[in-house]
Amino acid sequence: MPPLPTTTIGSFPQTGELRAARAAVTAGTLSAGEYERRVEAEIERVIRLQERLGLDVLVHGEPERNDMVQYFAEHLDGFAVTRNGWVQSYGSRCTRPPILHGDVRRPAPITVRWARYAQSLTEQPVKGMLTGPVTIVAWSFRRDDLPLRDVVFQVAEAIREEVADLEAAGTSIIQVDEPALRELLPLRRAAQEEYLEWAVAAYRRATSGVADRTQIHTHLCYSDADQILAAIDGLDADVTTIESARSGARILGAVREFGRGLGPGVYDIHSPRVPPAAEVEELLRRTLAALPAERVWVNPDCGLKTRTYEQVEAALANVVAAARRLRERAGQA
């Protein structure tokens, strides 16, 4: 990687055409084969866009996914999904939480096909993208006949199998997101230490089966992560990307002792506003004042699913430009 490597969090815009195609498959008016061809075309569009912009680590854009939890629940035993079970997530965004009713098993690989296809299109590294065990359980209606810890560890075993298959398929960077780590923290302080201990252990169980050459990333967003920074460090991910721009870079006041790669976000994706390159550069300068340059990654706050391609292309161009300017100035120093 060059200094200040650039990447995104995972998702790219979910267009109306993609959502309509997914609905048509469900309705039986579009064949599975034709839908998969459209997904492949969208993946190629995302890869070519990232190459053109000059990003260092690419993603496939997740066009095949309806939701970061529901998609995995649809491919795991022990879950059921609903057609109309919508709940409000935030603002006007709604999701359909899966129903976790039985023991969790992974009958077959879930993401490997799409990861392999995306990597075949480019020489740049393409991250494998998975949702972590705590988040999958936290954002589901879960069974209550087993302790929460046991349910999360069942999901961790399924994710561990997926991580191993991604690595075997040649994926050198695998991102396992855990945005609900802080959200599931018990309100009672007396229970928090025990929760964080087993939640971190479940994440490490899911991700620790890879060889040293495989890089593990994680992502947390909009979650007061500064309150549990020691637990985040304990996840043992090589790189953590985390929301920062939207909260005014508050996280930077707590990360000076963070010992791993860190990407505090420089682009607030919940706004249609495109941040100027100078603004991104200023956020990066603040980050470099808190962390050594060799540990800093450059990325948006969160995934780009809710934005338009026009907004995304303009914003990412500015993110890449800012990172390159700082690289050049560091080289002249």
Catalytic positions, written as ranges: 270
Q: Within 10 Å of residue 146's Cβ, how many Cβ atoms?
A: 14
Q: Give the C-alpha separation, 2 to 5, whole Å.
A: 6
Q: Give the C-alpha separation, 203 to 178, whole Å.
A: 8
Q: Specify the residue for token string 């980050």.
A: 287
Closest of 115, 215, 101, 209 to residue 158, by C-alpha:
209
- Please classify residue 129 by burial: count the beta carbons closer than 10 Å to its beta carbon, then call 0-12 exposed, 13-18 middle and 19+ buried: buried
Cβ density class 248-260: b for 16+ within 10 Å, e for less: ebebbeebeebee
Q: Give the C-alpha separation, 247 to 63, whole Å.
A: 28
Q: Give the C-alpha separation, 215 to 310, whole Å.
A: 31
Q: Within 10 Å of residue 16's Cβ, how many Cβ atoms?
A: 8
Closest of 22, 15, 4 to residue 320, by C-alpha:
4
CB 301 within 8 A of CB 7: no
Q: Give the C-alpha separation, 88 to 92, whole Å.
A: 7
Closest of 137, 165, 166 to residue 153, by C-alpha:
137
CA distances from 74 to 42, 67, 100 (A): 21, 10, 11
The CA radius of gyration of the chain, in Å to the nearest whole number, is: 19
Could you give the 3-state DSSP secondary structure of residue 176? Answer: strand
